[in-house]
Amino acid sequence: MDKDLLLKQFKEYQNRMAAFRFAMFQIRWDASTIAPSKSAAYRNKMMGVLVGDNMAQQRDPKNLDMLEKVSQMEDIDPLDKISAEKFLKAIRKFEKVPREEMVARQQNTAMATRVWEEAKKKNDFAMFAPYLAKNIEHNKKSAEYRGYEGHPYNTLLDDYEEGMTIERYDAFFGLLKEELVPFAKKVHTEGRPIDDSDLYKFYPKAKQREFLDYLAGAVRYDLDRGLISESAHPFTSGASLNDVRVTARYLENYLPASIFLGLHEMGHAMHSQQGDPAHEGKNLGGAGMGIGESQSRFYENYIGRSRAFWQRHFYKLQNIFPEQLKNHDPDSFYRMANRSKPGLIRLDADELTYPSHIMVRYELEREIMSGDVDVNKLPTMWNDKIEEYLGVRPTTDTEGILQDTHWSGGSFGYFPTYALGTAYGAQFYYALLKDIDVEREIANDRMEVINAWLQEKIHRHGGLLTPDELMIGATGSSFDPKNYVRFLIEKYTEIYF
C-alpha cells in the first residue's frame, strides 16, 4: 500500500479513537456531576453501543494490519510510530477477551457506580454487593483470558503501573509496615498533642469554593482550560490539554477536605495541562498511574502541606474565614493541618496514616484475586484490617468499605498506586531540592518555577517513558522507597517531638 495513503488511514484512525475517548469522557463526567439520577439506564445503554463500536474498530483486521505496518515504518514522525505501537499493545492486551465480555463489563461498571452512590448514602452494602461480585468476576475473567505470570493479580497491577507485581508491592508495603506503622503509633501515643478542633467548625461551602478558586491561581491551574465542579468522590478527567476538569468535595464541618483534595486533583490537572501539545490526540497516555499519583500527591502534600505554603497563603484563608481561624497564625495552622491521628476515611487521612489505608485495600484485593472470597464477608474483613493497622473500627459501611468509588468502576490494581505514587513524590521532591530553593519559591509565590521543573523532568514526557525510565531520568537513580520513609519521619518528628 502507498505510504501516504497508509499514513492518511492511520491519521483517520487516530482521530476516530480520540473522538471515542472524548465522547466517553463527556458522558462519564456528566454521569458523575450533573446527570439526573434516573438517566443511568439509558446512558448505560448508549455507552454499551459506543464501547461495542470502539471494540469493533480496534479489532477490525484492516485496522490491525494498518497499525502493524505503521509501527514498522522507520521514516515517519516518531510520535506516530510510538502511537501505533501503543494502539497495538492496548489491543493485544485485551484481544483474547470476548467482545461481549468487554461490553458486559462496561455496562455493569456504569450501573455499579450509580448503585454505589446510593448504597453509600443509605449505608447499604447489600444493595451494592451483587454489582461488586460481578466486577470481581469480570476482573478474574479478564486475567484468565489475558494470561498472567505468577499470579492473576499481576496482570491487573501491571495495567496501572507497568512492571509492578505482587512481589514488588509486597516488598514496598513490607518496608512501610516495618518502619512507618510503628512510628505512627509512637507519634499518636507519645507526641505532643495538637488541638485540631478549629478544623471542624462551620465553613460555608460557598466560601470554601472561593478559597479553592484562589488555590487554583496559587498553583497555576489554568481555569481557562479547566474547571472545578463537585462530585461525591473527587476526580480529574480530561480529553485534551485544553479541557482538564477537576471535582471537589466540600464538607462544611471539616475544612481540609476541600483544600487538600482540591490540591490533589489540581496536581493531576497540572500534570495534564503541562503535557506536550505534540502528543494531543495520539493515544500516548502517561507513564503510569503511580507517576500520575505522584503528581497529585506532590501538589497536595509536598507543596500544599508545607510550612512555606501556609506562610504564603494562610492570611488569605483567614480573611475568608476570620472568625473560625482568628486564633491562628501560619505556623499554628501548618501544625494543625499536618496533625496525625488514626481515622476511618482515606480521603481525609493525614500523610502519616495514609499508607495504612492503602495497605488495607491492597491486601484485600490480593486476597480477592487469590481465591474465592465471599463478597458478603468483605465489610468485616475490611473493618478487621482497619482496626489492625489504625486502631479504629468502622461502625458503618459508609465509613468503611463503601467509602471509595474504585471497586464500583471495576478498578482492581489501582489502589496500590496511591501509596506508590506518594513515595515516588518524595524522591522527586529531594531531586527538586537539589536544583531549586523550594521554600523560597513557594514563599515568593513563584510556583511557575517549580512547575517548570516538573514539566521538564516529568510532565512533558507523557507515556514515552516507563515509570522506571522516568524516575532515573528525573532523579538520577531507580526508585527507592526509603526516601519516603525518611521524609515522613523527619517531618513528623519535627512537628511532634
Q: What is the pLDDT of residues 365-403, one digit of tens each?
A: 999 999 889 999 999 999 999 999 999 999 999 999 999
The answer to whether position 233 is within a domain reads yes
Residues 137 and 174 in one domain: no
Residues 123 and 255 in one domain: no
CA distance 264 to 298: 8
445: CATH:
1.10.1370.30
Q: Is 463 helix (H, G, I), strand (E, B) or coil?
A: coil
Residues 265 and 139 in one domain: no
Please tell me which residue in 161, 265, 293, 351 is annotated as part of the active site. 265
Residues 421 and 290: beta-carbon distance below 8 Å? yes
Q: Bigger pLDDT: 110 or 213?
A: 213
Angle of helix 40-59 relative to helix 99-122, nearest 10 degrees, comes to 150
Residues 201 and 118 in one domain: no
Name the percent of the chain in helix, strand, coil, to the closest 5: 70, 5, 30
Which single residue is written with the C-alpha cell 510520535? Answer: 79
Residues 126 and 218 in one domain: no
CA distance 292 to 22: 20
Specify the pLDDT at position 347.
87
The answer to whether position 151 is within a domain reads no
The answer to whether position 75 is within a domain reads yes
Residues 123 and 219 in one domain: no
Residues 27 and 82 in one domain: yes
Query: For the chain, what is the total number of helices (H) and then of strands (E)?
Result: 20, 3
Give Cβ neighbours of residue 268 (< 8 Å, ≥ 6 apart): 236, 246, 292, 295, 296
Residues 385 and 260 in one domain: yes
User: What Cα–Cα distance (Å) separates residue 378 from each residue in 224, 241, 262, 356?
Assistant: 43, 39, 30, 17
The answer to whether position 160 is within a domain reads no
The cell for 307 is: 510550612
User: What Cα–Cα distance (Å) separates residue 202 from each residue in 111, 205, 211, 281?
Assistant: 35, 9, 15, 44
Residues 179 and 139 in one domain: no
When pLDDT is cut at 50, 70 and 90, the band that residue 245 belongs to is very high
User: What Cα–Cα distance (Å) separates residue 259 from each residue in 207, 250, 263, 427, 478?
Assistant: 12, 9, 6, 24, 32
Number of domains the chain contains: 2
Residues 133 and 205 in one domain: no
Specify the pLDDT at position 1.
61
Nearest in space to 454 (alpha carbons), one of 306, 295, 305: 295
> What DSSP assignment string belongs to 342-375?
--S-GGG--TTTHHHHHHHHHHHHHHHHHS---G
The answer to whether position 176 is within a domain reads yes
Domain end, chosen from 89, 110, 144, is at 144
> What DSSP assignment string belongs to 371-387?
S---GGGHHHHHHHHHH
The answer to whether position 321 is within a domain reads yes
- pLDDT (tens digit per residue) in 428-460: 999 999 999 999 999 999 999 999 999 999 999
The answer to whether position 152 is within a domain reads no
Q: pTM here?
A: 0.91
Q: What are phi and psi of 172, to 5 degrees?
A: -60, -55
265 catalytic? Reply is yes
Residues 230 and 250: beta-carbon distance below 8 Å? yes
Residues 319 and 210 in one domain: yes
Residues 123 and 170 in one domain: no
The answer to whether position 159 is within a domain reads no
Domain span including residue 18: 3-144
- pLDDT (tens digit per residue) in 259-279: 999 999 999 999 999 999 999
User: Does residue 177 have a pLDDT over 70?
Assistant: yes
